[in-house]
Amino acid sequence: MNTFGQLFRVTTFGESHGPAIGCVVDGCPPGIAIAPEDFRHDLDRRATGKSRHTSARHEADEVEILSGVYEGVSTGTPIALLVRNVDARSKDYAQIAEQFRPGHADYTYWHKYGIRDPRGGGRASARETTMRVAAGVIAKKWLAEKHGVRVQGYLAQIGEVVPHGYDLSVVEDNPFFWPDAAQVPALESYMDALRKSGDSVGARVDVVADGVPPGWGEPVYGKLDGELAAALMSINAVKGVEIGDGFAVVAQKGSEHRDHIAPDGFASNHAGGILGGISSGQQLRCSVAFKPTSSLRLPVDSLDIHGNTVEVVTTGRHDPCVGIRATPICEAMVALVLIDQALRHRAQCGDVGTVSPRVPSVAVEAGSELEPQAGGKR
Amino acid sequence: MNTFGQLFRVTTFGESHGPAIGCVVDGCPPGIAIAPEDFRHDLDRRATGKSRHTSARHEADEVEILSGVYEGVSTGTPIALLVRNVDARSKDYAQIAEQFRPGHADYTYWHKYGIRDPRGGGRASARETTMRVAAGVIAKKWLAEKHGVRVQGYLAQIGEVVPHGYDLSVVEDNPFFWPDAAQVPALESYMDALRKSGDSVGARVDVVADGVPPGWGEPVYGKLDGELAAALMSINAVKGVEIGDGFAVVAQKGSEHRDHIAPDGFASNHAGGILGGISSGQQLRCSVAFKPTSSLRLPVDSLDIHGNTVEVVTTGRHDPCVGIRATPICEAMVALVLIDQALRHRAQCGDVGTVSPRVPSVAVEAGSELEPQAGGKR
Amino acid sequence: MNTFGQLFRVTTFGESHGPAIGCVVDGCPPGIAIAPEDFRHDLDRRATGKSRHTSARHEADEVEILSGVYEGVSTGTPIALLVRNVDARSKDYAQIAEQFRPGHADYTYWHKYGIRDPRGGGRASARETTMRVAAGVIAKKWLAEKHGVRVQGYLAQIGEVVPHGYDLSVVEDNPFFWPDAAQVPALESYMDALRKSGDSVGARVDVVADGVPPGWGEPVYGKLDGELAAALMSINAVKGVEIGDGFAVVAQKGSEHRDHIAPDGFASNHAGGILGGISSGQQLRCSVAFKPTSSLRLPVDSLDIHGNTVEVVTTGRHDPCVGIRATPICEAMVALVLIDQALRHRAQCGDVGTVSPRVPSVAVEAGSELEPQAGGKR
Amino acid sequence: MNTFGQLFRVTTFGESHGPAIGCVVDGCPPGIAIAPEDFRHDLDRRATGKSRHTSARHEADEVEILSGVYEGVSTGTPIALLVRNVDARSKDYAQIAEQFRPGHADYTYWHKYGIRDPRGGGRASARETTMRVAAGVIAKKWLAEKHGVRVQGYLAQIGEVVPHGYDLSVVEDNPFFWPDAAQVPALESYMDALRKSGDSVGARVDVVADGVPPGWGEPVYGKLDGELAAALMSINAVKGVEIGDGFAVVAQKGSEHRDHIAPDGFASNHAGGILGGISSGQQLRCSVAFKPTSSLRLPVDSLDIHGNTVEVVTTGRHDPCVGIRATPICEAMVALVLIDQALRHRAQCGDVGTVSPRVPSVAVEAGSELEPQAGGKR
């Protein structure tokens, strides 16, 4: 389905080259100030055409608020957001309308539905994620205002390149969301060479969330980590999700992995802020693997819908590394999971505080709020 | 919540040391032959006490069918399954009732609910997964009978040890679900030493599914891979999930990753059988990272619910590597996702075949059905 | 929430005097021809301003299809429909922005959300039902094409006036959806007098559906009648719902109520086409009670948000009998329930036909397809 | 599906003559004292065999709590309740295994599933409602303790007999839940004669809820009245549901129906405590129509599954008026809707009180709390 969330529900619609994309945000708490300009910052971070390292398609992404906001404040009724598609060059795609591009959803949509909109990938285009980012803006606002939660993503790997250091204060100052400013010129060269080669490359995005209180999440099938995994894996091109130390736990010993609890807080954060599916009050940490886009100028053999062999060459405008612009999308999905779990927690346990006043307050480890473990986690 | 699935819905209940655990399977198609003995094989694979490498707790896990089956056949009404807890030694846990065991859900349950059942981990115990396996048995049966789908898991890493070869025909013949028979004696020694040390270790489980037809999955928030990620991440102790090449895609080029389509089928399977959230007809491949259990005889500092520092020593019966027994659990979760998506696909697109008879039939690559990529995928 | 349905899901948004109203139809089967002009007929039936007996507000209700349709055919992705509000005279409502109009949702919205959009009733306006009708058009199309199902509503009572006869062929020929043409002039006079008096009146709407095959519905909480009741009661101003003989069953004997089954079909239809929550193949019959609108020119005492006593006079444009225009809305809700249940039935039981070929075919009773029981049912 | 509710979710299972019936209550707030004996009172009110006016089947209905309660208090994890079937005489039903009893779900189950459990009606038996009542006990407890809400049902009509007066204090003192003690002897005679005749009769049940605060309910598809309608219509044998004045509104004028708001509260309660789908703080009032049971000793023509004509005579033990025992079932369903809406309201609007402290407090009308409108509402 095209709805995300249980109580804070986001329904998106729209194809890459259709007249518009949009979403309906249902279940939003009343009383949040929301204006069209609130969406600008994150939509710009996600937008193409901002640097030569992303697709050249330029969309203004002007958000129109159609409902749910009265005199600048959310009323509790569904908030509909609309963005018109402007720079859609459908002729680019005419030649591939009947081809199955390798690595794309063409083949599977065709088998599932018996029909597909081939223009720009139709519904399978990452353009859909524009509305995830827009909905995420509302979620981030509420999380920050109500709970002081801050969600921050950054790029943790491009191809074989990993950061030499992790300074999240520089992430917004370069086109790669890269946490080491000194590496940025080298990355620019790397990407220029990649683009010239006509090839693409994968990436890893990390997202951290600070300020999440203990208690969010549900312990079995609605686990906080389970829903984060679903949310992040639902982003186009994602092939892996990790919480905390992720796959590194395979080679760890229990004595090494378990995070000691001292009177002044947890001594480490291998768990990534989640125990038994419920937030522990520590920093939430997750990682996402993005595959390299399959839309390349380099020709490749494939089939068309009639079973004929064809050579596919994609001449549209594409990102050589889709993981870069995915950073705000990952943040949005984390924020959407958090607000939904926060509301669900309030529903079932809204008065637990009065039941157990003895619950100790555990401090987040000093100095590590926005920094990965010393030495890198991998 | 404690319900999994949209149309084939499994609701589980029960605590580790309560009177019983059970589940309700709702939405099951009518006409499937189901008998209590059908559950034996997979429950035995998941059970403790079968070898010295798993917890010594012994549960017969006798399944009672309470409803939904008439004269040995499912009727379409909810199937309730019940397993009484027998070998629950709650006194083992008396000393830790007020302690927060590091790496466990004690702390987070306490903060969420203000109360918790400390006996054997209560609801957070992996005992809950018994019912996932039981429900998975029904799902596997329907998938096999209706679609010829076969789901198979195996252990792909314990600590630093990886298989030297992948022969899935030997997986059921050793207590580790290990795909290389020659390594089993060494693994036994490894586990004996680990158990003696009082420590635990992580593991990686791979699951493959063969015979999945193209078209299962929903393209945006109900993606097949997104739901697999949620399903697998919802298993106790899981910290990472991969589809296809998983995190290896970060370092791949697009020209390398995209799977060419030839007239006789796909030339490779980096995607793991899913494109755009929908099955492609290739082998489904996923990997899961299990953390080392935190229940160790080795003492560790922590707090109790009053904020006092305590030294925690866990003397109950625990697995030194929870990943081993997790293999059938992972299979069950994959099967539950598949049957649910199969039913959802039939709901929306049950007549698509008649609409587009031209859809080409693509063969799964020869010789690779139950074998990972040559040379290992990582 | 603002989403209706499990598999055929309709999410609506928009306020009476906001910039637009719209909906997202998710889960629609692919392959249905859909064009903007398809919505014209039913939207016109629902529209105000068509006769002097409804509100004078005039909305063109031009539907824009934003997504989910490619080259005139549904693709299986979400269909977004948008209607701009044109004739919204918000100044009409300025004086009542802080008043609680008796019989309206002003008071309850205020208590629930602490804020409300007072313009034209905001989200509580029946303008929202425009999108129900639009979504219902798609449902009706699929039901008719796939299953030959036809859904027809008519007015069965206005105030104390009941039809003298039931000829459904005349229903579309008068502004009251009235099944007895001879009474129409008297009804016109009745309504003229009512409008002059400044008062309003209630109404009863009947809806029948022919061609529903046996087997749709779920037997416990997803009963076909239960979902019809929820669907119809969710329409603005509805205070009662009946299936089949409805409240008349209170005074019936069992020997009278139970519908005999003869080789050539059911001998009567007191049940209204539903047994045990599942359709029986007979004509589906339901009735809906609409209260008289509370928006009157006649003054009434009330409070404002500050607790002060105020005299409320509603000068906006309103229907003297909201039940009249509700006829197509009721039809739409019935159609939405039916398509949703049809898809759910196909999901779980899509292959039952092959299991039990012996199921007898039972004919619907002769001559009664579109006629209530002789003598009227009450 | 067999799950009721969004956040307070009840999943029931079990057939009339299977080994057991049960339910899983998920999403229950932690901290509620729950003991097996808590279920006794309402289960006894629903039970058969308590007077000669109900079925002679005798079930002890001993509730076993399988999970979710630790040391007598709910923990927030799923509460599973189990009741073994004891007095199931399946031989009573052997003769009708292949017959379609008129007025029963036999025919529709057969068409839907191609298979059915004929023993005692299987899943379609009202025995399922035992677990609704059990789950309702938990809901009532929470509603009473947290919000002071009290839910009370009574019989408002049997056949043509209506109460002469409404004194709810006598309802629990007679086997008919009848609000006029003086009429009880006459009712006993009426029922004796009915039973002897072999026939059955319909009934109307009213339910009122006091203490519901303003603000519960969701304004469009999750309307409080819409969910009450679905909940009540989902009870076996229900054919109609009314809120407030119900079908009487059809003949009302708007000036008569709208409830004035005075400084000391509402002047009347035609709306039944709900405006725009949201509770107003007034008494909640609903009515339910129960059809006469179709299980009669009087023979009737029908078909069997092979299409042969058969004469059906039901010799099992049945209620001559199923509406009588339905009173606690109706109460339970109302309570389940209320707790679910209460939790959903807390999720979205849990902090609205602090946003709008100016909301006026409106008193419930004096003297009418547990009494219908003077003169009766119909």
pLDDT tens, per residue, chain C with 378 residues: 999 999 999 999 999 999 999 999 999 999 999 999 999 999 999 887 777 887 777 778 899 999 999 999 999 999 999 999 987 666 666 677 889 999 999 999 999 999 999 988 899 999 999 999 999 999 999 999 999 999 999 999 999 999 999 999 999 999 999 999 999 999 999 999 999 999 999 999 999 999 999 999 999 999 999 999 999 999 999 999 999 999 999 999 999 999 999 888 899 999 999 999 999 999 999 999 999 999 898 999 999 888 889 999 877 667 899 999 999 999 999 999 999 999 999 999 998 974 433 334 344 433 333 344 333 343
3-state secondary structure chain A: CCEECCCCEEEEECCCCCCEEEEEEECCCCCCECCHHHHHHHHHHHCCCCCCCCCCCCCCCCCEECCCEECCEECCCCEEEEEECCCCCHHHHHHHCCECCCCCCHHHHHHHHCCCCCHHHHHHCHHHHHHHHHHHHHHHHHHHHHHCCEEEEEEEEECCECCCCCCHHHHHHCCCCCCCHHHHHHHHHHHHHHHHHCCCECEEEEEEEECCCCCCCCCCCCCHHHHHHHHHHCCCCEEEEEECCHHHHHHCEHHHHCCCEECCEECCCCCCCEECCEECCCCEEEEEEECCCCCCCCCEEEEECCCCEEEECCCCCCCCCHHHHHHHHHHHHHHHHHHHHHHHHHHHHCCHHHHCCCCCCCCCCCCCCCCCCCCCCC
Q: Is the minimum CB–CB distance between D78 and chain B shorter than 8 Å? A: yes
Pick D19's closest partner by Cβ from B15, B66, B114.
B66
- pTM, whole model, 2 decimals? 0.95
The pLDDT, as a whole number, for residue A315 is: 75
Q: For chain C, which domains are there?
A: 3-355 (3.60.150.10)
**Through-space distance between the first and last CA atoms of chain D, rounded to whole angstroms:** 35
Q: Is the minimum CB–CB distance between D319 and chain C shorter than 8 Å? A: no
Given an 8 Å threshold on Cβ–Cβ distance, is B9 in contact with D3?
Answer: yes
The pLDDT, as a whole number, for residue C112 is: 95
> Which residue of chain B is at minimal alpha-carbon distance from A320?
B254
The pLDDT, as a whole number, for residue A90 is: 59
The pLDDT, as a whole number, for residue C47 is: 85
- Nearest partner of C101 among D224, D280, D209, D248, judged by Cα: D280
Chains near D (3 or more Cβ pairs under 8 Å): A, B, C
pLDDT at residue D339 tops 70: yes
Q: Is the minimum CB–CB distance between B24 and chain C shorter than 8 Å? A: no
Q: What is the pLDDT of residues B232-285, one digit of tens each?
A: 999 999 999 999 999 999 999 999 999 999 888 899 999 999 999 999 999 999
- Tokens representing D112 are 């839907």
The pLDDT, as a whole number, for residue A227 is: 98
pLDDT tens-digit profile, chain A (378 residues)? 999 999 999 999 999 999 999 999 999 999 999 999 999 999 999 887 777 887 777 778 899 999 999 999 999 999 999 999 987 665 666 677 889 999 999 999 999 999 999 988 899 999 999 999 999 999 999 999 999 999 999 999 999 999 999 999 999 999 999 999 999 999 999 999 999 999 999 999 999 999 999 999 999 999 999 999 999 999 999 999 999 999 999 999 999 999 999 888 899 999 999 999 999 999 999 999 999 999 898 999 999 888 889 999 877 667 899 999 999 999 999 999 999 999 999 999 998 974 433 334 344 333 333 344 333 343
The pLDDT, as a whole number, for residue B92 is: 60
The pLDDT, as a whole number, for residue C86 is: 87
The pLDDT, as a whole number, for residue D93 is: 67
Q: How far apart are CA B353 and CA D183, in angstroms?
A: 65
D376: confidence class by pLDDT, cuts 50, 70, 90: very low
pLDDT at residue B190 tops 70: yes
Q: What is the pLDDT of residues B208-235, one digit of tens each?
A: 999 999 999 999 999 999 999 999 999 9
The pLDDT, as a whole number, for residue A89 is: 63
Q: Which of B2, B10, B69 to mutate to test the interface with D (most CBs of D within 10 A)?
A: B2
The pLDDT, as a whole number, for residue B265 is: 86
The pLDDT, as a whole number, for residue B262 is: 87
> Which residue of chain D is at minimal alpha-carbon distance from B5?
D1
> Which residue of chain C is at minimal alpha-carbon distance from D110?
C359
Q: Is the minimum CB–CB distance between B153 and chain D shorter than 8 Å? A: no
Q: Is the minimum CB–CB distance between A289 and chain B shorter than 8 Å? A: yes
Given an 8 Å threshold on Cβ–Cβ distance, is D77 in contact with B13?
Answer: yes
Given an 8 Å threshold on Cβ–Cβ distance, is B108 in contact with A217?
Answer: yes
pLDDT at residue D317 tops 90: no
Q: Is the minimum CB–CB distance between A225 and chain B shorter than 8 Å? A: yes
Given an 8 Å threshold on Cβ–Cβ distance, is D221 in contact with C204?
Answer: no
Mean pLDDT calculated for residue range B200-210:
98
Query: For a pLDDT cut of 90, what percent of chain D falls above it?
Result: 77
> Which residue of chain C is at minimal alpha-carbon distance from D349?
C113
The pLDDT, as a whole number, for residue C93 is: 66
Pick C275's closest partner by Cβ from D104, D202, D277.
D104
Does B55 appear as a known binding residue?
Answer: no
| Exposed/middle/buried for residue C98 (C-beta within 10 Å: 0-12, 13-18, 19+) | middle
The pLDDT, as a whole number, for residue B354 is: 46
Mean pLDDT calculated for residue range B110-139:
94
Residues of C whose CB is below 8 A from D241: 229, 233, 240-241
The pLDDT, as a whole number, for residue A91 is: 65
